[in-house]
Structure 1
Amino acid sequence: MTHDHDLELRPTAAQTAEALSPPPGRTGGDLVVETLRGLGSTTVFGLPGQHALGMFDALRRSDLTYVGLRVENNAGFAADAYGRITGEAAPLLLSTGPGALTSLAALQEAAAGSSPVLAIGSQVPAAGLGGGRHGYLHELRDQEASFRGVVKSTHPVRTASQIPSAIAAAWESALTAPHGPVWVEIPEDVLLAETVLPVVTAMDADPHDLVPRPELTAVAAHLLAEAERPAVIAGGGVVRADAAGKLRALAERLDLPVVTTFGGKGAFPWEHPLSLQSWIEDRHTTDFLEDADVLLVVGSGLGELSSNYHTFAPRGRIIQIEADAGKLESNHPALGIHADARLALTALLETVPEREDPKAPERVRRVLDLVRERVDSQHLNLEQELLASVRAALPDTAPSFWDMTILAYWAWSAFDARRPGTMHSAQGAGGLGYAFPAALGAAVADPTGPVLAVSGDGGAMYSLAELATAAQYGLPVTWLIVDDGGYGILREYMKDTFGEATGTELTRPDFVALAESFGVTAIRSTPESLKDDLTKALAEPGPSVVVLPAHLRMFAPTHLG
């Protein structure tokens, strides 16, 4: 008996002839780029280095588009954003030792933010692995171990024939929910050695669907339908799974108030009558969620930021839908449903009856009124006006990327991300220097519209080298740098805690002159002219910098009470 898949595996005569006569002069590096092409890649990010030159030479013989950044960490941030915007695995080519290790902070952010980054790094020649016998440049005793605790999976290669399978397995891992970064490691001599292996053609590395168990969604549907005061916390998993439409449909069918986490910005319409927006750092919102008799948590582990710094103490029943099994019930007991957010919400929509609660919009308005009164009482008009200016200047569909800076901390709570997947920040791992290189990666993914990056002057210093990248590729990124003379948020934290700040004041360059020296248009703005300055910068082709000298303050933290 012959099965259909048996026929599919049987090569044609033309395929056999082509496989028996591969073109000469190919190396292990060619196997890398051929595999990436066979998996569907069109673009790779990275930075060349001595042991990785076999991969980079092979790029010359391929039709892959290479985008080179100036620092490996920034290349990782760019790949992260490319993966978020496209939903595809983003290849990141790295060298050995210092080059590889410099990418780790970016890969930590990709892991925290569930971004499918496919990092492929070189290694010292195979003979030198495992003990420093040869003393190679860049050599690490166990390079793979440096990545194992950061990425989702590691895939070491030791021979040329292992390359296609290792990269395909890594690709599948990166794109299986929850998405995440992966690490492939190939020795220098394997990359450089000529190969007579056939040219790699189409590869099959489809990610696995993470389907919810039906008995669990049946219980969840019953709990939600019978609840008196249900509510929803929507996290980044909703955005990553492209499940915002499903979430809205479920909320409207059951009259569920919805709050989004900082990572879930845009998962639910900001002005919707059932929207609690994203004021999860406010005690009024926390009180409301604690009072819910059934709380549906979708795509969030209820970590530090999503639980109001672990002050959240729910009294009702929690239903937690989460693709990362390690996050299920990790902070609170729950009916844990290990599943992709979109598939689980679809299952609930197919199961739940309609539930009417005409008082739900009124309860939502009451919470938002209390939040607004508290913020307004602190006389922080400048900060709110600046956010309003940014929102007014930025097209609804344009993505924005935010560094760890005071204006971003405000944006987490107060910025209306009008479309899913349009607001991204470094709050997953909390590293500095994310915004600008990530925005460059987003512009590579879609160069047809503007992209905004927002940094403080301290975070901007991590990324200045990438002004050269922006200019080299003509990427349409506008970089807003809020210059307050140092690490503003750390200054506030230290003064509040110790009465005085240490190590937070910084000497800075003239950012406008520096940008112009790279051939990048730049302007010094004011709070009054920011909206117009940003609007103009975002409308012009190519990169631009807007510098805003301003000292911002955070809204006061809330307390239990």
Structure 2
Amino acid sequence: MQGKQVIRTFFQQAAVSHVFQLPGLHTLSLNAELFSHQNIKTITARHEANLAFMADGYARASGKPAIIVVTPGPGLGNIVSGCMEAYFDDVPLLIVHIDTDRKDVGKGILHELESPEDIFRHFVKASFRVNEPSTLTASLHDALRTCSTPRRGPVLVSIPFGLLDKEVPGQLRMVKSTPAGPSGPDRVLPFLANLEHILEDKRRPVLLGGKALMEPRTGVLVEKICGRGLPFLTTTGGKGVTSDHNAFSFGNVMAKGVARDILASADVVIAAGTRLRDVDAKRRGVRIGNLVHIDVDDRWIGKNYRTALHCSGDIQEVLKGLARIVQKARFDWDIEGLKRQRSLEMSGLRKEAGYALVDLLRNTVPEDTIIVCDLNMPSYWAEYYLPVYAQRSFLMPRGISPIFYSLAAAVGAKISRPHLPCLALCGDGGGLPQMSELATIVKYGIPVTILVHNNNSFSILEDAMRSRHNIDGSMDLVNPDFVKLARAFGIRARRTRTLRGLKDVFLHDVHWDEPFLVEFAGRVPFPPWNR
């Protein structure tokens, strides 16, 4: 079997349904092999930066690793920001880098780069370099296993292009791998004994959930625990772990008002599956006193908040134990009273343009819509206040926080879950560099709805320049007509300047089974943390 056939067979055995690629001369042999076997769908993007975020959206929405095939040199270099985001937000990507022939490096060969893996060493879980045919299969299996093991993340495999058309021997040499596994009973059981002791005299515990809880069985455990009368708060990554229809759900811990009141009156906060990063919590004014921190490993434990108790490893096993502990406990929370208080808080927020926009979207798009955000005004308000009703239906990049994310990631998300509606929330500044992927949307018939908030500005930066340096207009943008741009690709589109007009668009023009772009030129003057 030739190298390209080994790679294709590996994908098939691993139940890979889609491969995200941007071909070049070095990859063509593999591209042809994949194209000739239609049980693996290849998605060819228009730029590798967008390609990486498509794969990211696919992995987040599906919960499965996404496969990227890139060329050496500029192709590999263009996925750096996507790889950074995936590494720092625990997104499993398998990056298959079809490399040059290293023995010719130094001669001025096409896309020559010495030790390209070094570029990625601080933001991949592992790098594998296939030096000989006998290690190919083992390297691929090892890489997939590593990227799928908690803490999940990107893994790079470099394969020389000359190997694609070479015979791979039947006797395969294994590549050593020691991925981190979940903790065993020897760690969980003592932790649970200590946790039970801590909770003996506690009457107001709070459960704070993060992205690592985004599994169906874990969501059931959260419902079982909080159904005993505990409030449940989330980080941004944890939105949707359990439905916000639940009485015990009080939204994002970043939000002011009731969420902060709950934290302030809690006698212990049990944070599970969240990193509690500075930018997501402390910097947003989240104050936590008595903390019990549970995560997949100890990488983030103790970094921003002092812990009274912590455990790293198998979160599900810990939550099963916590569920048993709370079954025999009584708590003092008035959940119904807190819900009434929060309802009044949300009513008061309707005068704010950002909240009114988010409230309109929540009441007009289907509840199971996958909503993909990045860093723009509508997305910030959605991050704080949008109710989410299903797992993996709210995606926002919280690794390195890129602004060129939502459109491309929505394409990947829709590919992974084609039966669900999908909405990308874009800013004008972040959305324009992704607009080349409208061609990808049309080529593959991907029915994504794109909302572009066009305020002709990098508005967050404009606000900062005005408040910090007394400078106006330095962050203004010159934009195209987004409606005409979409129509040039054959995509239906409309523009509106008002919330009433936006509601009309979503109720009468958006059908969810075809691509659509709406340009919203209404004003959202400030982010939610400035209210």
Is TM more than 0.5 here?
yes
Rounded to whole Å, the distance in 2 between the matches of 1:467 and 1:494 is 32
**Structure 2: which amino acid aligns with 1:505?**
D
Rounded to whole Å, the distance in 1 between the matches of 2:390 and 2:87 is 23
User: SS at 1:162's partner residue?
Assistant: helix
Q: Could you say which residue in structure 2 is the equivalent of 1:394? A: 365
Q: 1:507-536 deviations in whole A, cap 9, x for unaligned? A: 111111111111111111332121231244
- The unaligned stretches of length 5 or more in structure 2 are none
Q: Could you say which residue in structure 2 is the equivalent of 1:104? A: 80
Q: Could you say which residue in structure 1 is the equivalent of 2:101? A: 125
Structure 1 position 110, deviation (Å): 1.7
User: SS at 2:500's partner residue?
Assistant: coil
Q: Could you say which residue in structure 2 is the equivalent of 1:239? A: 214
**Structure 1: which amino acid aligns with 2:46?**
R
Rounded to whole Å, the distance in 2 between the matches of 1:115 and 1:70 is 22
Q: 1:318-341 deviations in whole A, cap 9, x for unaligned? A: 111111321122222322211243
Q: Could you say which residue in structure 2 is the equivalent of 1:159? A: 132
Instruction: Describe the shift of the 1:116–1:101 C-alpha distance in structure 2 as closer, same or farther (beyond 3 A).
Output: same
Rounded to whole Å, the distance in 1 between the matches of 2:12 and 2:409 is 23
Kept in 1, the 8 Å contact 2:55–2:409? The answer is yes
**Structure 2: which amino acid aligns with 1:42?**
S
Structure 1 position 414, deviation (Å): 0.8
Rounded to whole Å, the distance in 1 between the matches of 2:508 and 2:316 is 38
Structure 1 position 172, deviation (Å): 0.8
Q: 1:359-394 deviations in whole A, cap 9, x for unaligned? A: 331663486378558856xx42x3222112211222
Kept in 2, the 8 Å contact 1:168–1:205? The answer is no
Q: 1:24-50 deviations in whole A, cap 9, x for unaligned? A: xx5322221211212221211111122
Rounded to whole Å, the distance in 2 between the matches of 1:400 and 1:276 is 19
Match of 1:136 among 83, 92, 109: 109
Rounded to whole Å, the distance in 1 between the matches of 2:371 and 2:423 is 5
Rounded to whole Å, the distance in 1 between the matches of 2:221 and 2:397 is 26
**Structure 2: which amino acid aligns with 1:249?**
K
* Residue 172 (1) aligns with residue 145 (2): yes
Name the stretch that deviates more: 324-333 or 267-276. Answer: 267-276
Q: Could you say which residue in structure 1 is the equivalent of 2:17? A: 42
Name the stretch that deviates more: 401-410 or 62-71. Answer: 62-71
Instruction: Describe the shift of the 1:157–1:290 C-alpha distance in structure 2 as closer, same or farther (beyond 3 A).
Output: farther
* Residue 267 (1) aligns with residue 241 (2): yes
Q: Could you say which residue in structure 2 is the equivalent of 1:533? A: 505
Q: Could you say which residue in structure 1 is the equivalent of 2:462? A: 491
* Residue 548 (1) aligns with residue 520 (2): yes
Q: Could you say which residue in structure 2 is the equivalent of 1:455? A: 426
Rounded to whole Å, the distance in 2 between the matches of 1:547 and 1:539 is 16
User: SS at 2:246's partner residue?
Assistant: coil
Structure 1 position 225, deviation (Å): 4.5
Instruction: Describe the shift of the 1:280–1:534 C-alpha distance in structure 2 as closer, same or farther (beyond 3 A).
Output: same
* Residue 325 (1) aligns with residue 298 (2): yes
**Structure 1: which amino acid aligns with 2:81?**
A
Instruction: Describe the shift of the 1:307–1:286 C-alpha distance in structure 2 as closer, same or farther (beyond 3 A).
Output: farther
Name the stretch that deviates more: 505-514 or 83-92. Answer: 83-92
**Structure 2: which amino acid aligns with 1:549?**
A
Rounded to whole Å, the distance in 2 between the matches of 1:479 and 1:90 is 23
Instruction: Describe the shift of the 1:323–1:241 C-alpha distance in structure 2 as closer, same or farther (beyond 3 A).
Output: farther
Kept in 1, the 8 Å contact 2:44–2:440? The answer is yes
User: SS at 2:452's partner residue?
Assistant: strand
Q: Could you say which residue in structure 2 is the equivalent of 1:78? A: 54
Q: Could you say which residue in structure 2 is the equivalent of 1:344? A: 318
Structure 1 position 244, deviation (Å): 1.8
Q: Could you say which residue in structure 1 is the equivalent of 2:256? A: 282
**Structure 2: which amino acid aligns with 1:511?**
F
Rounded to whole Å, the distance in 1 between the matches of 2:112 and 2:411 is 31
User: SS at 2:269's partner residue?
Assistant: strand
* Residue 410 (1) aligns with residue 381 (2): yes
Name the stretch that deviates more: 241-250 or 405-414. Answer: 241-250
Rounded to whole Å, the distance in 2 between the matches of 1:501 and 1:155 is 49
Q: Could you say which residue in structure 2 is the equivalent of 1:88? A: 64
Q: How does 1:186-225 map to 2 (within 5 A)?
A: 186-195=159-168, 197=170, 208-211=181-184, 213-225=188-200
Rounded to whole Å, the distance in 1 between the matches of 2:481 and 2:155 is 38
Structure 1 position 209, deviation (Å): 4.6
**Structure 2: which amino acid aligns with 1:97?**
G
Structure 1 position 548, deviation (Å): 0.8
Q: 1:291-345 deviations in whole A, cap 9, x for unaligned? A: 42211001111112432406444332x1111113211222223222112433321
* Residue 59 (1) aligns with residue 31 (2): no
Structure 1 position 490, deviation (Å): 1.6
Q: 1:110-168 deviations in whole A, cap 9, x for unaligned? A: 2233221111112210313xxx4222222222210111111222111111221111111
Rounded to whole Å, the distance in 1 between the matches of 2:112 and 2:94 is 22
* Residue 304 (1) aligns with residue 284 (2): no
**Structure 2: which amino acid aligns with 1:463?**
Q
Rounded to whole Å, the distance in 2 between the matches of 1:242 and 1:545 is 36
Instruction: Describe the shift of the 1:470–1:458 C-alpha distance in structure 2 as closer, same or farther (beyond 3 A).
Output: same
Taking every aligned residue pair, what percent have the same amino acid on both sides? 25
User: SS at 1:256's partner residue?
Assistant: coil
User: SS at 1:464's partner residue?
Assistant: helix
Aligned residues: 523
Kept in 2, the 8 Å contact 1:488–1:504? The answer is yes
Kept in 1, the 8 Å contact 2:203–2:330? The answer is no
Name the stretch that deviates more: 332-341 or 359-368. Answer: 359-368
* Residue 524 (1) aligns with residue 499 (2): no
Rounded to whole Å, the distance in 1 between the matches of 2:398 and 2:79 is 17
Instruction: Describe the shift of the 1:536–1:161 C-alpha distance in structure 2 as closer, same or farther (beyond 3 A).
Output: farther
Kept in 1, the 8 Å contact 2:22–2:44? The answer is yes
- What RMSD, in angstroms, separates the aligned Cα atoms of the two structures? 2.7
* Residue 294 (1) aligns with residue 265 (2): no
Kept in 2, the 8 Å contact 1:225–1:352? The answer is no
User: SS at 2:227's partner residue?
Assistant: helix
User: SS at 1:389's partner residue?
Assistant: helix
**Structure 1: which amino acid aligns with 2:233?**
V
Q: 1:20-77 deviations in whole A, cap 9, x for unaligned? A: xxxxxx5322221211212221211111122222321221343311111111111111
Rounded to whole Å, the distance in 2 between the matches of 1:536 and 1:443 is 21
**TM-score (norm. length: structure 1):** 0.86
**Structure 2: which amino acid aligns with 1:52?**
T
Name the stretch that deviates more: 67-76 or 301-310. Answer: 301-310
Rounded to whole Å, the distance in 1 between the matches of 2:20 and 2:101 is 23
Q: Could you say which residue in structure 2 is the equivalent of 1:508? A: 479
User: SS at 1:463's partner residue?
Assistant: helix
Match of 2:90 among 98, 114, 118: 114
Structure 1 position 272, deviation (Å): 3.3
User: SS at 2:451's partner residue?
Assistant: strand
Q: Could you say which residue in structure 1 is the equivalent of 2:44? A: 68
Instruction: Describe the shift of the 1:485–1:141 C-alpha distance in structure 2 as closer, same or farther (beyond 3 A).
Output: same
Structure 1 position 455, deviation (Å): 0.3
**Structure 2: which amino acid aligns with 1:58?**
E
